[in-house]
Amino acid sequence: MPAKILIVDDSSTTLLMEEMLLKKYTNFEVVQARNGQEAVETALIEQPNLILMDVIMPKMDGFTACREMRKRQELRETPIILVTSRGEPQNVEMGFESGCSDYLTKPIESQELLQMVNGYLAAEKAR
């Protein structure tokens, strides 16, 4: 059964790009959400193996969504990579304080994203 990845972004372009990249180089199942609130709801239903999430989104930002997910027993151990254009040190720090596993700054470097995704999924599989 292939790993399931939840990608979360309010930009249709970013969602499409990330999904195309993941489907081209992996056999992962990809599900999408368009804001933080939808991300929490979708993650609870879909139980993804990994979450790629933007920070700046409507309804609920990625930091808040990350904190909400970490409150849920079923999502507490799910790797969450924040993928955002907000690369300032205070935002990176806030990301890790909110419970993210890693932080990647846009524009995305395809190989870096794939390496990060594969690393987290391999570590999860080894548990």
Instruction: Identify the domain containing residue 9 by its residue range.
Output: 4-126
Q: In this structure, what CATH number is given to the domain that contains residue 65?
A: 3.40.50.2300
Q: How far is CA 7 from CA 20, 45, 83, 113, in A?
A: 12, 14, 10, 12
| C-alpha–C-alpha distance, residues 4 and 38, integer Å | 16
Q: Record the pTM.
A: 0.95
For 77-127, write each residue's pLDDT tens digit. 999 999 999 889 999 999 999 999 999 999 889 999 999 999 999 887 766
For 31-77, write each residue's pLDDT tens digit. 999 999 999 999 999 999 999 999 999 999 999 999 999 999 999 99
User: How many structural domains comprise the chain?
Assistant: 1
